[in-house]
A and B are shown apart, each in its own frame.
Chain A
Amino acid sequence: MTRWWDPRDWVNGERITSPLLNKYVRDAFRSTWHEVSYTEFTAPVNATAGGADVVSSGASTYLPYPTVAEFYAPGCDTAVKLHLHDGATDLGILAFVSVAGLREIVIDVEREFTPTAGSHTFKVVAYGSAGSVQAGAGGSGVLFPGHLRILQRGPV
């Protein structure tokens, strides 16, 4: 049995039926990922014991399909814990680095999950007693912006 991802060559005069469209268009698109939101931050954020917001995706309405939250910061002091939040709900620690002697690292991490159908506001929050998440506006000698990018599988 052929599946939608099996290579298929269409031929001249071939009749395009609904089963073929369902398999090679509908099902193919359901497997792809698209960008729901992309939000940058351009200034350092100091971690706090109670948590400091680093960047928010803003509110978007989601379908209950697999979703990836992708977070990047060009620099981050070690011993800062980066949590992924959905609004006020702490979903967990997305990244935590603590290496003796290391002072600064680049952070690029992602988390896949399936949200409920409805509106969600995802954000990254920095916890810690010291240290900061670094970012800038870019340009010669300047750190690039960090970002939170949300991707979702399925129809746009």
Chain B
Amino acid sequence: MNTHVRDQFRELWHEVAYVEFTSPVSFGTADVVSAGAITYPGFAIMIEFFAPGWTSSSTAAQTDIRLFDGATNLGRIAFVAGGAGAAAGLFLYGRRRLTPSAASHTYKINAQGTAGSTIQAGAGGAGVLLPGFIRIMQKGA
């Protein structure tokens, strides 16, 4: 049972947080979405970020998508730059695997964009952008 049940479960990943955002985030520096405070046991986690659109109205526009743990900037999870006008756009998806300390952590996505760049999201429905999200998967029991 230890080999075929206990050890198998320890290899599986499960969802510990999933939080959506449904409104665009324009240029400047702003929090996009937070997973909220969660107490982690110290196992590996995968943090995923998705936005259905990023638009640019200038070839000089760029956006840094940054991952924070509370007030600590952990790094840049995505970098997009360029675009040929208001119609230019693409979706964003990135993920970061890490092993947090056994304690409470608040992971969030923060954007730092230059003029003309916007992270897009909506409520979904016919012809409407779907929500973006932050999702945290954790390995182990």
Contacts and interface: CB of A to CB of B under 8 A. Distances in A.
A138 B79 CA distance: 13
Given A99-B90, A101-B83, A143 B76 contact: yes
A129 to B, nearest CB: 19
A25 interface: yes
Contacts, number: 98
A96 interface: no
B16 interface: no
Interface string A56-94: 000000000000000010110010000000000000000
Contacts of B72: 140
A18 to B, nearest CB: 13
Interface residues of A, number: 34
Interface of A: 25, 29, 32-35, 38, 72, 74-75, 78, 99-106, 108, 134, 136-144, 147, 149, 155-156
Given A72-B95, A100-B84, A101-B59, 16 more contacts: A25-B4, A75-B76, A101-B82, A102-B83, A104-B79, A106-B77, A106-B94, A136-B76, A137-B75, A138-B96, A139-B73, A139-B75, A140-B72, A142-B75, A144-B77, A156-B7
